[in-house]
């Protein structure tokens, strides 16, 4: 599956954030009793490993592997891994957990904090082994300079082919899985509990097909099929587009509007086809930048909604702001955030590896055994056929708008320069067609708002396994174990690994819905006033001022994921900054404005352990103090209501509104 520079950036930020969040779930050193320092080395199987992560007691090692197991291409590659031994060494191990990161191109060791946090409750009796797939992280990451700098043209792909040479076809998933098995062999690990997310689920399927006897259990989180029935993966776009209405129907403020959220977005798309929007808006670094948004750009925003973040939350309100009052700032900000480019180091994310795996393993619209001219003809014909026979493939957008958007669909022209496969490989077939999947206990997880790997994609994966449970979790997007920070989905994963059954999964009904923005407004007077509680003395105008403060707090919280450097700006001015604490996040707001006429300064504390969010902020209008309010809500609650107390213009306020 292909992604644009924008989507690569979004995923990079997502996995960085979830690693940091998960690390907060681990016991702090101060909370632990004094323990002897871990040994500098340990021997596991036939390997001596060196301490490389004292805080989590992790040991590192490498294994030399032939670049080409067949011997046809000379050379070797070193595969890096990290081993986290069980805490209780007085009892036998209950097994080894092997997590695998997605991409393809991400380093699995780069997500160690998330994996260690996810499986922390099982680590007394279970080891965790994190192996970087060849071409990523600690396993000789492919660094094709032009691709790594963000180039998306075919010349950059051609340069990468030249750099890799005869090794271009030696980074596919079956080679990576072979390396994983080799590491298990030298560590004397006979079978493992496998967890893979996104492309990691592709790795899990290949491992299950080729080495079924090495698996005790399989968890495939946000899965898509190795044996893809449709090169276009149309259910992904269908899921993210329908997710606009689905998330609206589950949000009280959006549902109350009536009508259809997708109808409003279609209206915006029609307007952008006539005249694209151009204006200033803050990007993911908080820099005010000139943005031009057309219909393909809107499609790119929508496509990224399935990966989490603020898009489902804000898209409908942003469309209404432009359609109803000509306020372009909210929709242009969404565009600017998606189009921000941040360069990744190859060790963190390898664009070269992504391309090599895509061209080796994914379905294409042309045959890589053909010469360049024939490939180009096949590609052109495939596009022409889609325009003619599948005009609604990306409805309400056209195929050409989808192509121009560079949205997350299968590799299109990017593999045209890739060399022909060697005689012992078949493009798009990482294991034989005759391979059968084992009756190993298997759990497939999907978020019903995931437009990256749709629930329908995952159902195709689940259908291949004889002993499987497919759990679709409402209100979550891509990577389900990450999407619910308060224990439901992570607890299900741990229970499955521990007992080989899902246990009670009723908690998924309590995963809270996306709380959409009720309205973007230039002035506080256009916001709905908060609802008075007993003892409230404020006027409706004063409760509108307080509503502007509450919206500014919610807006700052929504920016933490797309933000790239822990700083940001308010929608209409001011700055935000956040830092990680032992319990969560603390935000500092300075002059932030959700509306033009109310400035908000103060602090927000988000406690991940309790899911409670509290804020104390000062309000001002035209430089004149307008009050101090305290805000509190339980973010994980299904119908969370924010309580606002304090004073506005010297009058006591005690009011409420649905949490932002």
pTM of the model: 0.94
Given pLDDT bands bounded at 50, 70 and 90, which one contains residue 29? very low
Mean local confidence (pLDDT), 2-9: 38
CA 364 to chain centre: 24
Residue 564 has pLDDT above 80, yes or no: no
pLDDT at residue 360 above 90? yes
Domain edges within the chain: 49-230+428-510, 522-660
Model pLDDT, residue 568: 87
Q: What pLDDT score does 18 carry?
A: 43
* Chain mean pLDDT for the chain: 93
**Which candidate, 49, 71, 69, places its Cα nearest to that of 60?**
49
pLDDT value for 483:
73
Cα separation, 572 vs 595, whole angstroms = 7
User: How do residues 84-97 score in pLDDT, each as one tens digit?
Assistant: 999 999 999 999 99
CB 596 within 8 A of CB 522: yes
- Selected residue with higher pLDDT from 567 and 330: 330
Alpha-carbon distances, residue 80 vs 23, 66, 76, 83 (angstroms):
22, 14, 13, 10
HEC profile for 200-267?
A: HHHHHHHHHHHCHHHEEEEEEECCCCCCCCCCCCHHHHHHHHHHHHHHHHCCHHHHCCCCCHHHHHHH
Confidence of residue 4 (pLDDT cuts 50, 70, 90): very low
With vertex at residue 469, the alpha carbon angle to CA 104 and CA 190, rounded to the nearest 5 degrees, is 65
pLDDT in tens, 179-194: 999 999 999 999 999 9
Map tokens 């092997």 to a residue: 98
**Residue whose structure tokens are 């294409």:** 364
Find the largest Cα–Cα distance for the chain.
82
Q: Indicate if the pLDDT at residue 27 is higher than 60.
A: no
The dihedral formed by the CA atoms of 428, 431, 432 and 434, expressed in degrees to the nearest 10: -120
Average pLDDT over residues 424-447: 96
What confidence score (pLDDT) does residue 486 get? 66
Q: Is residue 45's pLDDT more than 80?
A: yes
Q: What is the pLDDT of residues 215-260, one digit of tens each?
A: 999 999 999 999 999 999 999 999 999 999 999 999 999 999 999 9
Among 349, 342, 5, 350, which Cα is nearest to 144's?
Answer: 350
Q: What is the distance between the alpha carbons of residues 10 and 15, in angstroms, rounded to a whole number?
A: 9
Question: Given pLDDT bands bounded at 50, 70 and 90, which one contains residue 23?
Answer: very low
pLDDT tens digits along 105-129 = 999 999 999 999 999 999 999 999 9
Q: How far apart are CA 36 and CA 508, in angstroms?
A: 41
CA distance to 264, 476, 599, 654, 656, per residue, from 641 (Å) = 27, 20, 23, 13, 7
Instruction: Tell me the pLDDT band of 410, cut-offs 50, 70 and 90.
Output: confident
**pLDDT of amino acid 35:** 63
Integer Cα distance of 186 and 78 in angstroms: 14
Contact between 607 and 586 under an 8 Å Cβ cutoff? The reply is no
Q: What is the structure's pLDDT at 19?
A: 42
Tell me if 316 sits within 8 A of 516, measured CB to CB: yes
Tell me what pLDDT residue 447 has: 96
Whole-number Å distance between alpha carbons of 366 and 382: 8
Percent of the residues in the chain that have a pLDDT greater than 90, as a whole number: 87
Percent of the chain with pLDDT over 70: 94
CATH number of 49-230+428-510: 3.40.50.1820
In this prediction, residue 339 has a pLDDT band, given cuts at 50, 70 and 90, of confident
- Is 325's pLDDT higher than 70? yes
Task: Tell me how far the alpha carbon of residue 200 is from its chain's centroid.
Answer: 13
The first and second tokens of residue 124, run together, are 């007394």
* pLDDT for the residue numbered 309: 79
> Is residue 25 very low, low, confident or very high in pLDDT (cuts 50, 70, 90)?
very low
Tens digits of residue pLDDT in 291-316 = 999 999 999 999 999 988 799 999 99
Q: Which run of H or of E encompasses 613? A: strand 612-621
Q: Contact 157/170 with Cβ under 8 angstroms?
A: no
Report residue 485's pLDDT band, with 50, 70 and 90 as the boundaries: low
Residues β-bridged to residue 590: 575
Q: What is the pLDDT of residue 15?
A: 40
Rounded to a whole number of angstroms, the distance between the first and last alpha carbons of the chain is 34
What phi and psi values does residue 197 have, to the nearest 5 degrees?
Answer: -120, 140
Residues 601-633: pLDDT tens digits? 999 999 988 999 999 999 999 899 999 999 999
């Amino acid at each position: 599956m292909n992604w644009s520079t924008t989507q690569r950036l979004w995923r990079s930020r997502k996995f960085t954030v979830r690693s940091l969040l998960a690390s907060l779930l681990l016991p702090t050193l101060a909370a632990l009793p004094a323990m002897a320092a871990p040994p500098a080395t340990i021997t596991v199987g036939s390997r001596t490993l060196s301490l490389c992560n004292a805080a989590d007691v992790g040991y590192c090692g490498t294994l030399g592997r032939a670049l080409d197991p067949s011997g046809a291409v000379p050379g070797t590659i070193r595969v890096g891994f990290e081993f986290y031994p069980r805490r209780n060494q007085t009892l036998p191990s209950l097994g080894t957990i092997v997590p695998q990161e997605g991409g393809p191109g991400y380093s699995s060791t780069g997500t160690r904090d998330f994996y260690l946090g996810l499986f922390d409750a099982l680590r007394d009796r279970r080891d965790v082994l994190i192996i970087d797939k060849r071409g990523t992280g600690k396993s000789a990451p492919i660094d094709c300079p032009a691709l790594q700098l963000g180039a998306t043209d075919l010349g950059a792909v051609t340069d990468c082919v030249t750099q890799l040479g005869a090794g271009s076809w030696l980074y596919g998933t079956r080679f990576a899985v072979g390396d994983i098995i080799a590491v298990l062999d030298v560590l004397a690990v006979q079978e493992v509990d496998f967890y893979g997310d996104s492309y990691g689920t592709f790795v899990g399927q290949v491992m299950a097909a080729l080495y079924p006897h090495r698996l005790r259990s399989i968890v495939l989180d946000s899965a898509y099929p190795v044996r893809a029935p449709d090169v276009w993966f149309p259910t992904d776009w269908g899921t993210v587009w329908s997710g606009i209405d689905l998330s609206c129907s589950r949000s009280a403020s959006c549902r109350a509007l009536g009508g259809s959220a997708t109808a409003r977005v279609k209206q915006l798309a029609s307007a952008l086809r006539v005249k694209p929007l151009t204006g200033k808006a803050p990007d993911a670094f908080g820099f005010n930048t000139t943005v031009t948004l057309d219909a393909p750009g809107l499609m790119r925003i929508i496509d990224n909604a399935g990966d989490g973040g603020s898009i489902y939350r804000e898209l409908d309100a942003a469309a209404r702001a432009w359609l109803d009052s000509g306020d372009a700032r909210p929709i242009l900000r969404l565009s600017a955030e998606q189009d921000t480019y941040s360069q990744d180091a190859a060790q963190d994310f390898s664009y070269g590896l992504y391309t090599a795996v895509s061209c080796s393993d994914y379905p294409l619209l042309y045959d890589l055994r053909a010469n360049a001219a024939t490939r180009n003809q096949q590609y052109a014909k495939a596009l022409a056929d889609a325009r003619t026979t599948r005009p609604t493939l990306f409805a309400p957008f056209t195929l050409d708008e989808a192509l121009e958007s560079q949205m997350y669909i299968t590799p299109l022209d990017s593999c045209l320069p890739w060399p022909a496969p060697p005689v012992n490989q078949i493009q798009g077939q990482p294991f034989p067609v005759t391979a059968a999947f084992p009756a190993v206990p298997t759990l497939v997880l999907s978020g019903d708002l995931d437009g990256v790997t749709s629930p329908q994609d995952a159902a195709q994966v689940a259908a291949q396994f004889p002993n499987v449970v497919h759990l679709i979790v409402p209100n979550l997007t891509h990577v389900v174990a990450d999407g619910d920070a308060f224990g439901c989905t992570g607890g299900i994963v741990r229970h499955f690994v521990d007992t080989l059954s899902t246990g009670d999964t009723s908690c998924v009904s309590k995963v809270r819905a996306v709380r959409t923005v009720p309205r973007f407004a230039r002035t506080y007077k256009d916001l709905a006033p908060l609802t008075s509680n007993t003892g409230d003395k404020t006027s409706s105008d004063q409760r509108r001022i307080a509503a502007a403060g509450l919206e500014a707090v919610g807006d700052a919280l929504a920016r933490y994921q797309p933000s790239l450097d822990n700083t940001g700006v308010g929608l209409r001015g001011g700055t935000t900054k956040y830092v990680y604490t032992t319990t969560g996040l603390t935000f500092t707001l300075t002059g932030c404005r959700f509306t033009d006429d109310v400035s908000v300064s103060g602090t927000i504390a988000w406690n991940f352990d309790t899911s409670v969010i509290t804020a104390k902020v000062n309000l001002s209008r035209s430089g004149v103090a307008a009050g101090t309010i305290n805000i509190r809500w339980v973010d994980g609650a299904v119908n969370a209501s924010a309580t606002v107390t304090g004073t506005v213009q010297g009058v006591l306020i005690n009011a409420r509104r649905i949490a932002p």
